[in-house]
Amino acid sequence: MRESYPVEQAVGIERFVSDTDGIGGRIRVEDADFRVREVERFDAEPTDADPGAYPYLVVRGTLHGWDTNDFAKRLSDALGISRERVSWAGTKDKHAVTTQLFSLRKIDARDLDDVAIRGADIEILGRAGRGLEFGDLAGNAFEIVVRDAGNPENTAAIREELEAFGGGKPGTVGVPDFFGQQRFGSHRPVTHEVGLHVVRDEWEEAVRAYVANPYDTEPEGTQSARREVADAFDDRDWRAALDALPRRLGFERAMVNRLVERDGDDPEDFRAALEAVPSNLQRLFVNAAQSYAFNRILSERLARGLPFHRPVAGDVVCFTERVDGLTVPDTDRLQEVTENRVETVARHCERGRAFVTAPLVGTETELGKGEPGEIEREVLADLDLEPGDFDLPGEFDSTGTRRPILVRTDLEASVTDDAVTFEFALPKGSYATVILREFMKTDPANE
Give the up-direction half-sphere exposure of residue 286: CA atoms within 13 A in the CB hemisphere. Answer: 30
Give the per-residue pLDDT at 16: 98
Q: Cβ distance 342 to 282 under 8 Å?
A: no
Cβ–Cβ under 8 Å, residues 14 and 2: no
Q: What is the pLDDT of residue 100?
A: 96
103 burial type by CB count under 10 A (0-12 exposed, 13-18 middle, 19+ buried): buried
Rounded CA separation 385/265 (Å) = 26
Domains in the chain: ranges and CATH: 6-32+139-177+408-446 (3.30.2350.20), 42-135 (3.30.70.3160), 191-277 (1.10.1510.30), 286-404 (3.30.2350.20)
- pLDDT tens, per residue, the chain with 447 residues: 899 999 999 999 999 999 999 999 999 999 999 999 999 888 999 999 999 999 999 999 999 999 998 999 999 999 999 999 999 998 888 889 999 999 999 999 999 999 999 999 999 999 999 999 877 888 999 999 999 999 999 999 999 999 999 999 999 999 999 999 989 987 789 999 999 999 999 999 999 999 999 988 899 999 999 999 999 999 999 999 999 999 999 999 999 999 999 988 899 999 999 999 988 899 999 999 999 999 999 999 999 999 999 999 999 999 998 877 788 888 889 999 999 999 999 999 999 999 999 999 999 999 999 999 999 999 999 999 999 999 999 999 999 999 999 999 999 999 998 899 999 999 988 999 999 999 999 998 787
Distance of CA 287 to the CA centre of its chain: 9
pLDDT at 51: 94
Q: If DSSP codes are grouped into helix, strand and coil, which group holds residue 247?
A: coil
The phi-psi region of residue 305 (left if phi > 0; otherwise alpha if psi is between -120 and 50; otherwise beta) is left
pLDDT at 26: 95
Q: Which residues are catalytic?
A: 93
On whether the CB atoms of residues 356 and 397 are closer than 8 A, the answer is: no
Neighbours of 352 (CB within 10 A): 14
